[in-house]
Amino acid sequence: MSPLALLFLTLFNSVLGLSILFPILGPLGRALGLTEVQVGLFSTGYALMQFLLSPYWGRRSERGRKPVLLVGILGFAGSFLLFGLFALLGQKGLLPAGALFPLLLLSRLLGGAFSSATLPTAQAYVADVTGRENRTAGMALLGAAFGLAVILGPALGAGLAALLGLLAPVFFASAIALLNALFVALTLPESRPQGARAGGSLSPFDPRVFPLLLLGLALNLSGVALEQTIAFYFQDRLGLGGVETARRVGMALVLYGLVAVFIQGFLVRKLSWPPKTLLLLGLPVGILGFSLLVVAHTFPLLALGLALQGAGAALAGPGVTAALSLAVGEGEQGLVAGLNSAAQALGRMLGPLLGTGLYRLMPEAPYLLGAGLLGLSLLFLPALFRRVRL
C-alpha cells in the first residue's frame, strides 16, 4: 500500500473517532446536568487549543512526521479515555458537583492540544511524498478522508449510543485512536530524511502565505457558521417538528458530505486541476450555494443549496491547502501546515458564535455572510495570483 493510502486511513480513523461524538455531546451534557453553554465550551476549548498549538506541532514535525503523528493520536486517545472516565464518575455521583465540568473541560483541552498535531503533520507528509504537480491531488485525498469520516462517524456514534448508552461512543473513540496509533507505528513509513532538523519560523504575515491564510479562514468561518445554524434554518423555513427536522437535515447533510467526498476523492484527483483552477471554480459555486439557501423555501432547493455550498468548499479547500504548500520551500512544509490548521481552528472557534448570533438577528444572515466572504475572496483572487505563484 502506498504512503498516501496509508495516510488516508490514518486521517480517516482519527476524524472518525472525533465525529462519533457529534450526536451525543449534547444529550450527554444534559444527562450530566451541564448547561448548553458548558457543553458549547467543550468545542470552543478544543478549537482554542488547536489554534494555539497547531503551529508548534507543524514546526516540530520537521524533525520527523511519524513521531508527531503518534504523539497526537495517543494523546487524543488518552484525552477521550479521561473524558469518558470523568463522565462515568459523574453519572455515578462519585465526583463533587463542582468538579465535574472543570475535569471534563480539562480533558477536552488536552484532546485539542494533542489532536492539533495530526492534521498539520498529515498535510506536511503529503507535501513530502508528492511532487508539485501532484500536490493538489494529495491534499484533496486528505479532504476526502475527512469528509468520509464525518459522514460515517455520527451514524456510528448514534448507533452505539442507542445500543450501549451515551458513554459507549466516547470509549469507542478512544479505542479507535489506540488501534490507529498501532497501525501508524507498524505500517506508516517516515517521510522526512534521517536526522532532519526543525525549521526556524514562518510568520503568518509572511506575504507568501498571509493572503491564503485569510482565504482559508473565510472558507472555514462561512462553512462552520452554516453547519451551526442549518438545522434551525430547515425547521423554521419548512415549519417542521423536531423529529422531521432531524430526518430532513440528516438527508441533506449526507448529500452534502457525499458531494464533497466525490469531488475531493475522485474528481480533483482525476482531473489534477491546479490550485488556481480550484479556487476560480470553487468560490463561485460556494456563492451560488449560499445564495440559493437565502431564497429557498422548499426542501429540494434547500438541499441543493447545501450541496452546492459543499461542492464549492470541496473545490476551494484543497486549492487553499495545496497553494499554501506550493508557496513555500520544502523545508517549510510543517510550518505552513501548522499555520493553516491554526487558521482553520480560528474559524471553528468564531463560526458558531458568529453564525448563531447572526441567525438571531435574521435567519438568512449567516448565509449572506458566507456569500459575502466568498464574494470578497473572489474579487481579491487576481491580486492574490499576482503575489503568490500557483
pLDDT tens sequence across 95-119? 887 899 999 999 999 999 999 999 8
Asked whether residue 166 is assigned to any structural domain, the reply reads yes
pLDDT of 280: 95
Take residue 229 and report the three cell numbers written for it.
Answer: 445554524
Lowest average pLDDT, out of 192-196, 335-339, 349-353, 371-375, goes to 192-196
pLDDT of 385: 79
My answer on whether 158 and 265 are in the same domain is no
pLDDT of 191: 85
How many angstroms separate the CA atoms of 26 and 327, rounded? 41
Q: Domain of 310?
A: 210-387
My answer on whether 161 and 241 are in the same domain is no
Q: How is residue 190 annotated by DSSP?
A: P
Boundary (domain end) residue, out of 187, 222, 237 = 187
Asked whether residue 192 is assigned to any structural domain, the reply reads no
Going by pLDDT thresholds of 50, 70 and 90, the confidence category of residue 52 is very high
Asked whether residue 380 is assigned to any structural domain, the reply reads yes
For all residues of the chain together, what is the average pLDDT? 88
How many angstroms separate the CA atoms of 118 and 127, rounded? 14
Asked whether residue 204 is assigned to any structural domain, the reply reads no
Lowest average pLDDT, out of 28-42, 281-295, 301-315, 330-344, goes to 28-42
pTM, full prediction: 0.85
pLDDT of 21: 81
Judge whether residue 34 has pLDDT over 70. yes
My answer on whether 123 and 258 are in the same domain is no
The predicted-structure confidence for 275-309, as pLDDT tens digits, reads as follows: 999 999 999 999 999 999 999 999 999 999 999 99
- From 103, 111, 89, select the one nearest 177 (Cα to Cα): 111
How many angstroms separate the CA atoms of 115 and 105, rounded? 15
pLDDT of 133: 80
Going by pLDDT thresholds of 50, 70 and 90, the confidence category of residue 389 is low
My answer on whether 375 and 268 are in the same domain is yes
Asked whether residue 202 is assigned to any structural domain, the reply reads no
My answer on whether 155 and 302 are in the same domain is no
Question: 366-388: string of b/e by CB count within 10 Å (b at 16+)?
Answer: bbebbbebbbebbeeeeebbeeb
Asked whether residue 315 is assigned to any structural domain, the reply reads yes
**CA within 13 Å, CB half, 82:** 18
Judge whether residue 332 has pLDDT over 90. no
Judge whether residue 196 has pLDDT over 70. no
pLDDT of 194: 62
Take residue 242 and report the three cell numbers written for it.
Answer: 423536531
- Kindly report each contact of residues 261-267 with a partner whose C-beta sits within 8 Å and lies 24 or more positions away, as own/partner: 261/144, 261/147, 261/148, 261/151, 261/314, 263/140, 263/311, 263/314, 263/315, 264/140, 264/141, 264/143, 264/144, 264/147, 264/314, 264/317, 264/318, 265/140, 265/141, 265/144, 265/147, 265/148, 266/144
Q: How is residue 192 annotated by DSSP?
A: S
My answer on whether 235 and 101 are in the same domain is no
How many angstroms separate the CA atoms of 256 and 211, rounded? 27
How many angstroms separate the CA atoms of 93 and 297, rounded? 47
My answer on whether 182 and 238 are in the same domain is no
Judge whether residue 370 has pLDDT over 90. yes
How many angstroms separate the CA atoms of 117 and 102, rounded? 24
**CA within 13 Å, CB half, 214:** 14
The predicted-structure confidence for 202-214, as pLDDT tens digits, reads as follows: 889 988 899 999 9
Judge whether residue 337 has pLDDT over 80. yes
Please give the residue that has the higher pLDDT: either 373 or 360.
Answer: 373
Going by pLDDT thresholds of 50, 70 and 90, the confidence category of residue 390 is low
User: What is the percentage of the chain residues whose pLDDT exceeds 90?
Assistant: 48
Burial, 270: exposed, middle or buried (Cβ in 10 Å; 0-12, 13-18, 19+)? exposed
- The contacts of residue 184 (CB under 8 Å, 6+ apart) are 10, 66, 69, 70, 73
pLDDT of 330: 79
Please give the residue that has the higher pLDDT: either 198 or 121.
Answer: 121
How many angstroms separate the CA atoms of 244 and 222, rounded? 26
Judge whether residue 198 has pLDDT over 60. no
My answer on whether 134 and 9 are in the same domain is yes
pLDDT of 197: 60
Q: Are 228 and 357 in contact (CB under 8 A)?
A: no
How many angstroms separate the CA atoms of 100 and 119, rounded? 30
Judge whether residue 130 has pLDDT over 80. yes
My answer on whether 175 and 214 are in the same domain is no
Judge whether residue 144 has pLDDT over 70. yes
- The contacts of residue 20 (CB under 8 Å, 6+ apart) are 153, 154, 156, 157, 160, 169, 172, 173, 176
My answer on whether 263 and 170 are in the same domain is no
Q: Where are the beta strands (DSSP E) in 6-154?
A: none
pLDDT of 252: 87
Cα dihedral 181→182→183→189 (10° resolution): 80
Count of CB atoms situated within 10 Å of the CB of 242: 9
pLDDT of 199: 57
My answer on whether 83 and 150 are in the same domain is yes
